[in-house]
Amino acid sequence: MTRPVLEIAANSVDSAIAAQTGGADRIELCANLSEGGTTPSHGTLSVTRDRLHIPMYTLIRPRTGDFCYNDADVEIMIRDIETCVSLGADGVVIGALDTEGDVDVATCRSLIATAGQLGVTFHRAFDVARDQTRALETIIALGCERVLTSGGEATALDGAQRIAALVEQADSRIVVMAGAGVNIDNVSEVTMRSHAPELHASARVVRKSPTAHRNDRPPDLSADWWETDSSVVRAMADALRHAI
């Protein structure tokens, strides 16, 4: 039996390469990871695709905040997916809800149609849907290949029991991927308690800037940054091998 699939949320080219080096199975490329993630730039997409040999999925989210999108938001997402198709991405990560908290079927259908042959993951908009049981059936009917979830809780460990119920409901019709707060200390427990066949984590650490000149007084202009660490990814992959 093989270990569960490990997907890494990578917020830069360097993070994606580190994830690949550490043994990740797949990348979710994004920007603004600390705010839940948004779509990365064209340049980031292009350079990352050139340097990876593992599958690269791209987060399609035009802004932070809720998942109720207007016409301009939808047009942005469609154009971003077109870019992903043209650059050779392996898949996209989408999600949209209506004002009642149900899956926005019309918007999702448009995004999926634009993706064409690319793989499609439904992201954690699922975790704020008003009825996850119903939402999962809708996402399955849309043809998504997987859904990322914390079970509607702050972390996948907190929501492990709910994730296990979703895995059972899915009954192999869709992959349920556990994510949110998954780290080296809890990845094995999340796996065993949730029964999820795929895990999602960022495996990130703080990188200290080498610059000799610093002014850290403006909190939004810190010279340091978060980045995926290959050794953390490797440790998580090893832990997953022993968790099965």
The 10s digit of each residue's pLDDT in 170-197 is: 999 999 999 999 999 999 999 999 999 9
Percentage above 70 pLDDT, the chain: 98
What pLDDT is stored for residue 7 in this prediction?
98
The CATH number corresponding to 5-207+223-243 among 3.20.20.140, 3.20.20.380, 3.40.50.800, 3.30.70.1520 equals 3.20.20.380
What pLDDT is stored for residue 242 in this prediction?
82
Total-model pTM: 0.94
Q: Which structure tokens are listed for 83?
A: 């870019």
Determine how β-strand 26-29 pairs with β-strand 56-59: parallel
Is the predicted pLDDT of residue 1 greater than 60, yes or no? no
Q: pLDDT (tens digit, 9 = 90+) per residue, 36-89?
A: 999 999 999 999 999 999 999 999 999 999 999 999 999 999 999 999 999 999
Domain limits of the chain?
A: 5-207+223-243
* Coil vs helix vs strand at 243: helix
